[in-house]
Amino acid sequence: MGVEDGEPLDEKAKRMRDLLSSFYSPDLPSASLRPNASFSRFATLDTINATSFDADHYMNLLVQKANLEELLKKHVEMASEIKNLDTDLQTLVYENYNKFISATDAIKRMKNNINGMEAKMEQLTEKMMSVQSRSDGVNTSLLAKREHVEKLHCTRNLLRKVQFIYDLPTRLEKCIKSEAYADAVKFYTGAMPIFKAYGNSSFQDCKRASEEAVGIIVKNLQGKVFSDSESIKARAEAVMLLNQLNFPVETLKLKLFEKLEQFLLDLHLEYKDLKDASADVNELPNQGNVNVSASAAAHEASIHEFAEALRAYRVIFLHSEPQLFKLAQDLVMKEFEAAHQQIKKQLCSADLLAILRVIWTDVLLLDKVLPGAALPDFTMQAALIAVKDYITCALSHLLLDISDAFSKILGMQKEGTEEVHPLQTAFEASKKAVIQGSMDVLLDFHHLLNENSELLLKLRGFTMDWVQEGFQNFFRKVHNYFLLLCGKSNSASQDRNLIEGVPGDKVPAGLVLVVAQLCHFIENSAIPRITEEIASSFSGGGVRGFEYGPAFVPAEICCTFRADGEMFLHLYIKMRTQRIAVILKKRFTTPNWVKFEAIGAEAKQILPQGLHHKHHRTDSNGSTTSSRGSTLRDSRMSRSNTQKARSQLLEAHLAKLFKQKMEIFTKTENTQESVITTILKLSLKSLQELVRFQTFNRSGFQQIQLDIQFLKSTLKDIAEDEAAVDFLLDEVIEATTERCLDPVPLEPPILDRLVNAKLTKTSQ
């Protein structure tokens, strides 16, 4: 903002400006004093408003910097600004003067108004004094009378109380009559302190009377509490009143709970009836229905009653929840106990489901009444155990069934039943026991899963796991049982009861064979089927939170049973060969086998004897063949082509080996031929070993030679591996030659004739 430079600022204008600035901004001069020097030195055109404004300096600066035109313009600007400022100044002065005048007027008015105030104040004080004195006078005159009135009032109150106490018994009686027990209790408790203080002296009679009345009241109240017909509210009130009368409510409570427990016991009995009834459903679907529905209704009613009672007690007795919870849990527990008993009796899953459903509805009902008891959780736990028990139970029953099948076999063999194919029947039966049994059990478990009730839905995951685990354990047990059955294990004392029928270590060889076949069957058919079933229904796919991995490991079981199968097969072979070896040994140890003198007549004795022995031997082979043939045929039919290929491979392998060295002890396949061949080979080897122990004379040697020749033609039909058998037969001959003092072989024609004679004789 520029300032007119044409007009030099005179002394007056400067003074005026200072005055104004000191009036409107009093701190300005002191504030602007300090930067004075700087302003003088660095003066610009903007410093016109500063206090240290140097007009001459400003002028010089302006003249130096601006041209004429600008100077003229500045001049015009400044002139108009100065004019404006002058007008403003004038207005300000006028306004201030006006204010001053009005202030003077006000002061003048005030001076006039204050006069006469003092007198009025004095008057007021005087009047106040007189009022006070008068009121004091009234007070003193009324004091005596008022005291009297107060005393009278006290007396009246006392009298009224006494009257009340004297009236109490009648009043209580009246209350009893009208059943207004609440009032009565109120009155009595009101009078209680007085009775306590003066009850032994002045109010003795009164007290006795009212106590009698209260006694009646208590009795009535108690009756009310115990009566089920009264409304819950009334009973609750009664309990409250009794409590106010210092009556021992706890004992009451105990009594009531005892009653409730008794009720629970009765209920339990009814429940059992229901179980029986529901068990009957399966056997007698037509007759049982009515019975069941009736008993079910009864059960429902009693549960309702129980729930009502619980609700009532919960309202009636404060702080009784823990006990009630306990009662409710007892109920659930009892129901599950009953369920467990049923489970032990091998009930089917439908029954279990029915039971669980009933329990669950009961629990839901109770839960409505007692929400705090966490009954569903409790039930869940119990149900978990029940389902688990059920699964284990079912599987152990299955095991029992299988062992039953085996005991039947044993029994059959003991009695010597003349059945055509006892082993086949046994095998079929046990096979059926395994596969059908496990399928049934699985189906049963399936029902468990298909059930839509809330309880079981929650249990689903666990159930699946348990089913898997249960089967795993089941097969382990079957494995142990087989071991035990075949006398391979001495340890499983806890399962001893399973094989009570088995006589010590005398296990029939046929049984071992059946077991071996069964192992094979389990490995090849049962396990895949069960695995499939489990995978389709019981895999834990939909279940969250189970990180244990699958409990059912079919590979492991397969492995176990494959090993078992092989082991039992070997055991069977061992038993058979042992038997044959024993027969052979007996033959050799007969004293007249080798005798130097015995040539003539005895040779003839030995001949039929020896033949008979051989015959017997082939017989024993033959008998095993027939029984085994039927047993094995099925498994052979069902066996896949791969196994056939495998046995063919084995044959080829054998043939190759044969060129270098006779391989006698090959791995046994699970086929009829293989088993028989193995037995045969082992028997012939035993024969060879036994021959090596003996010393023969000529007739003995010839006898052996004849026997071998006979065996050659007979065994051809039986054995699979002809080459090996021939080799072994030759070995026997060779061994006999070595151990003979006089080895003169029979002429081949004689040999043939003798063999043919024998053959025709046996065929007849």
Partner 1 sequence: MQGGSTGVGYGLKYQARCISDVKADTDHTSFLTGTLSLKEENEVHLIRLSSGGTELICEGLFSHPNEIWDLASCPFDQRIFSTVFSSGESYGAAIWQIPELYGQLNSPQLERIASLDAHSSKIKCVLWWPTGRHDKLVSIDEQNLFLWSIDTSKKTAQVQSQQSAGMLHYLSGGAWDAHDVNAVALTCESSVQLWDLRTMKTTNSIQHAHVRNVDYDTKKKYMLVTAEDESGIHIWDLRKPKFPVSELPGHSHWTWTVKCNPEYEGLILSAGTDSAVNLWLVPPTSDDSALDSLVESPTRRVEPLLHSYTDYEDSVYDLAWSSREPWIFASLSYDGRVVVESIKPHLPKK
Interface with partner 1 (CB under 8 A), residue from 240, 581, 598, 607: 581
Kindly state whether residue 730 participates in binding partner 1, applying the rule CB under 8 A.
no
Nearest approach in angstroms of CB 731 to partner 1 is 10
Q: From residue 2, give the alpha-carbon distance in Å to each of 46, 69, 82, 645, 733.
A: 7, 15, 11, 123, 152
Interface with partner 1 (CB under 8 A), residue from 596, 600, 660, 717: 596
Task: Kindly give, in sequence order, each residue whose CB lies less than 8 Å from that of residue 60, ignoring residues fewer than 6 positions away.
Answer: none
Binding-site string for partner 1 from residue 415 to residue 444, where x marks contact by CB under 8 A and - marks none: ------------------------------
Binding-site string for partner 1 from residue 180 to residue 219, where x marks contact by CB under 8 A and - marks none: ----------------------------------------
**Candidate ranges 93-101, 236-244, 456-464, 577-585; the one touching partner 1 (CB under 8 A):** 577-585
Kindly state whether residue 577 participates in binding partner 1, applying the rule CB under 8 A.
yes
The CB-side HSE value for 333 (13 A sphere, CA atoms) comes to 8
* DSSP bridge partners of 696: 740
Interface with partner 1 (CB under 8 A), residue from 594, 603, 691, 755: 594
Interface with partner 1 (CB under 8 A), residue from 197, 269, 741, 759: 741
Kindly state whether residue 491 participates in binding partner 1, applying the rule CB under 8 A.
yes
Kindly state the DSSP code that residue 496 receives in the 8-state scheme.
G
Assign 322 to helix, strand or coil: helix
Find out whether 518 and 428 touch, Cβ atoms under 8 Å.
no
Task: Kindly give, in sequence order, each residue whose CB lies less than 8 Å from that of residue 299, ignoring residues fewer than 6 positions away.
Answer: 270, 271, 274, 358
Interface with partner 1 (CB under 8 A), residue from 364, 664, 751, 754: 664
- Nearest CA to 411 out of 426, 428, 396 is that of 426
409-413's contacts with Cβ under 8 Å and 24+ in sequence apart are 409/510, 409/511, 409/514, 410/501, 410/502, 410/503, 410/508, 410/511, 411/501, 413/508, 413/510, 413/511
235, two tokens = 């009973």
Given the complex with partner 1, which of 404 and 495 has the nearer CB atom?
A: 495
Q: Which amino acid is at 84?
A: N
Given the complex with partner 1, which of 186 and 595 has the nearer CB atom?
A: 595
Find out whether 217 and 245 touch, Cβ atoms under 8 Å.
yes
Kindly state whether residue 739 participates in binding partner 1, applying the rule CB under 8 A.
yes
* DSSP bridge partners of 270: none
Given the complex with partner 1, which of 469 and 564 has the nearer CB atom?
A: 564
Nearest approach in angstroms of CB 416 to partner 1 is 24
Kindly state whether residue 578 participates in binding partner 1, applying the rule CB under 8 A.
yes
Find out whether 218 and 163 touch, Cβ atoms under 8 Å.
no
Kindly state whether residue 397 participates in binding partner 1, applying the rule CB under 8 A.
no
Nearest approach in angstroms of CB 697 to partner 1 is 9
Measured distance CA(712)–CA(618) in Å, rounded: 11
Assign 486 to helix, strand or coil: coil
Binding-site string for partner 1 from residue 676 to residue 715, where x marks contact by CB under 8 A and - marks none: ------x--xx--x--x--x--------------------
**Candidate ranges 89-97, 460-468, 547-555, 737-745; the one touching partner 1 (CB under 8 A):** 737-745
Kindly state whether residue 502 participates in binding partner 1, applying the rule CB under 8 A.
no
Nearest approach in angstroms of CB 611 to partner 1 is 25
| Size, binding site for partner 1 by CB under 8 A | 24
Nearest approach in angstroms of CB 737 to partner 1 is 10
Interface with partner 1 (CB under 8 A), residue from 665, 748, 763, 764: 665
Measured distance CA(213)–CA(175) in Å, rounded: 10
Handedness of CA 667, 670, 671, 676 (dihedral sign): positive
Given the complex with partner 1, which of 97 and 596 has the nearer CB atom?
A: 596
Q: Which residues bind partner 1 (CB under 8 A)?
A: 489-491, 574-575, 577-578, 581, 589, 594-596, 664-665, 682, 685-686, 689, 692, 695, 738-741
